[in-house]
């Protein structure tokens, strides 16, 4: 699993939240584990205190080491620690490997006891790690010691400043993705609709661009894997005309390796009125379970300020059963798409809520025509929405120049 993801295996809506006493007890266990893991790391030589160094020193895979190092070198996140760390089995494997490598730890027994306590808490509160994560996903309050700020006031101020700076803003950023088993077991089909609704722009606004990222680039077969084509035939620019304002803008597309960049220009003399602009794309990709990196990352990049973001991902049930989903939020930087292994460097600590959608249902007040958009997205490939599990991030004033990442780990410990 990649650092910074917040895995939540969701097979059914959360049945109940943790009671206050349950949450307090779990928090105490996690605080003790957090301190013990910090002590373990500080006992190691400096060259073994990084993710790569710990992996070399212990012989444990870098992914596990990276999650541990990231978690214990960041501020204590409360109950979110159980999402950030590997499961008890992974922690025990790491501890045993460090001892077998000959490193002397000041209190390895205390760490082993903390891992055992966590394992017992998981069984008591959720039956399994995934069961407890489902209960944690239903929590409506923040973790102990942190106050919730749900009014979006800081993000709203950022929105207003960014709109003034860039000369652009939108009522809604919409992104919907559908993952379907492909023609062979090692392939998936990904279809998507994305765009801006109620988009305003001044004459002096900075250029409007969309970035459509692919998880992979396959130079040996560029016409198959990692290449995205229009969702509907007869629309070479991929614009969904039924949902976009007329007259249509001019769209220029490039594919510089790992993503498609679409630049949007108004026709000369077009009125400066708010516009709707939606795109539909489809591509073939390698099944994440068949890759070395088993984490599928789905991004919603807030490239321009928006009042609201609706970000949905739908997985076929057969795929949803194979992975742990998660959601986090990252600062964007120029080399972001090429630094998959270092997501912890850009991750914001504030949690983002991942919502489970009922099968075949994705109601929202964000966009009255959204049911029509989904019908087109599923009907384009003859898909039945009832066969899909949906995940949603619905946020008011998403932070400008950041990326919201929904991740699906096909190699995670359940």
Locus of tokens 């939540």:
8
Q: Tell me the per-residue pLDDT of 8-56, one tens digit each, with 9 for 90 and over.
A: 333 333 334 677 778 888 988 998 999 999 899 889 998 888 888 898 9
pLDDT above 60 for 157: yes
Q: Tell me the per-residue pLDDT of 288-333, one tens digit each, with 9 for 90 and over.
A: 999 888 889 999 989 889 999 999 999 999 999 999 999 999 988 7
Locus of tokens 């229009």:
230
Pairwise CA distance, residues 88 & 119, whole Å: 6
Across 269-285, average pLDDT: 79
- Predicted structure pTM score: 0.61
DSSP notation for 367-414: -TTHHHHHHHHHHTTT--GGGEEEEEEEEESPPTTEEEEEEEETT---
Lowest mean pLDDT among 38-42, 224-228, 272-276: 224-228
The sign one gets for the Cα dihedral 169, 280, 293, 119 is positive
Q: Are 310 and 413 in contact (CB under 8 A)?
A: no
Domain range annotation of the chain? 20-137, 154-409
Given strand 324-331, what is the order of strands in its sheet?
295-301, 402-409, 324-331
Please count the CA atoms within 13 angstroms of the CA of 116 that sit on its side-chain side.
6
b/e per residue 319-355 (b: at least 16 CB within 10 A): bbebbbbbbbbbebeeebbeeeebbbebbeeebbebe
Tokens found for residue 274: 């708010």
Tokens found for residue 202: 């001044």
DSSP notation for 18-40: PPHHHHHHHHHHHHHHHHHHHHH
């Amino acid at each position: 699993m990649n650092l910074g993801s917040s895995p939540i295996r969701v097979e059914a809506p959360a049945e109940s939240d943790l009671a206050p006493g349950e949450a307090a007890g779990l928090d105490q266990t996690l605080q003790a584990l957090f301190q013990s893991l910090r002590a373990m790391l500080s006992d190691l030589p400096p060259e073994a205190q990084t993710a790569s160094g710990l992996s070399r020193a212990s012989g444990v895979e870098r992914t596990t080491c990276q999650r541990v190092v990231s978690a214990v070198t960041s501020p204590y996140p409360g109950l979110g620690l159980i999402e950030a760390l590997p499961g008890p089995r992974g922690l025990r494997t790491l501890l045993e490997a460090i001892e077998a490598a000959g490193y002397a730890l000041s209190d390895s027994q205390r760490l082993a006891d903390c891992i055992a306590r966590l394992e017992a808490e998981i069984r008591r509160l959720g039956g399994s790690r995934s069961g407890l994560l489902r209960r944690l996903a239903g929590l409506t309050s923040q973790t102990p010691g942190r106050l919730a700020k749900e009014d979006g006031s800081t993000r709203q101020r950022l929105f207003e400043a960014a709109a003034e700076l860039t000369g652009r803003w939108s009522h809604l950023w919409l992104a919907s993705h559908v993952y379907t088993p492909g023609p062979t077991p090692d392939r998936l089909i990904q279809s998507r609709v994305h765009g801006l609704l109620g988009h305003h722009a001044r004459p002096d606004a900075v250029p409007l661009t969309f970035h459509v990222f692919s998880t992979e680039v396959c130079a040996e077969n560029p016409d198959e894997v990692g290449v995205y084509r229009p969702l509907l035939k007869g629309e070479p620019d991929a614009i969904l005309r039924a949902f976009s304002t007329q007259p249509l803008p001019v769209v220029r597309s490039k594919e510089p390796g790992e993503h498609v960049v679409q630049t949007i220009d108004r026709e000369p003399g077009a009125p400066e009125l708010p516009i709707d602009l939606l795109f539909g794309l489809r591509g073939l990709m390698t099944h994440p379970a068949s890759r070395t990196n088993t984490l599928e990352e789905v991004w919603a990049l807030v490239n321009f300020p928006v009042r609201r973001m609706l970000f949905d991902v739908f997985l076929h049930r057969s795929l949803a059963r194979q992975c742990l989903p998660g959601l986090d939020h990252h600062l964007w930087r120029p080399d972001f798409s090429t630094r998959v292994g270092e997501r912890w460097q850009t991750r914001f600590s504030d949690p983002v809520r991942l919502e489970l959608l009922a099968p075949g249902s994705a109601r929202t007040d964000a966009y009255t025509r959204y049911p029509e958009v989904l019908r087109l997205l599923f009907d384009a490939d003859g898909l039945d929405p009832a066969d899909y599990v949906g995940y949603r991030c619905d946020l008011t004033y998403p932070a400008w120049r950041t990326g919201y990442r929904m991740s699906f780990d096909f190699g995670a410990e359940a």
